Amino acid sequence: MHEIEPYYNWLQYYNPAEDQLSPYFGKQYNFDLYSDTIYGYYIDPSWDFIGSETLYIKILFADYHEGFCIIEFIGEWNDTINNDIMHLKRNIVDHLLSQGINQFVLIGENVFNFHGSDDSYYEDWFEDVEDDTDFSKPGWIAAVNFADHVADEFKNYNIDNYVNMGGTLNISNWRTMAPRQLYGHVDKLITQRLGM
**Mind listing the pLDDT tens digit for each residue in 44-84?**
999 999 999 999 999 999 999 999 999 999 999 999 998 99
The pLDDT confidence band at residue 179, using thresholds 50, 70 and 90, is very high
Q: Is residue 129 part of a domain?
A: yes
DSSP code per residue over the chain:
-TT-PPP-GGGGT--GGG-TTSTTTT----TT----EETTEE--TTSEE-S-SSEEEEEEEEETTTTEEEEEEEEEEETTTS-HHHHHIIIIIHHHHHTT--EEEEEEEEEEEEE---SHHHHHHHHHHH-TTTSSS--EEEEES--HHHHHHHHHTTGGGTSEESGGG--TTGGGS-HHHHHHHHHHHHHHHHT-
Q: Is residue 69 part of a domain?
A: yes
pLDDT, position 34: 82
Query: Percent of the chain scored above 90 by pLDDT?
Result: 82
Q: Is the pTM of this model over 0.85?
A: yes
pLDDT, position 131: 78
Q: Is residue 30 part of a domain?
A: no
**What's the total number of domains in the chain?**
1
Q: Is residue 190 part of a domain?
A: yes
Q: Is residue 1 part of a domain?
A: no
Q: Is residue 11 part of a domain?
A: no
The tens digit of pLDDT for each residue in 78-121 reads 999 989 999 999 999 999 999 999 999 999 999 999 999 989 99
CATH, residue 92: 3.30.750.24
Q: Is residue 71 part of a domain?
A: yes
Range of the domain at 58: 48-194
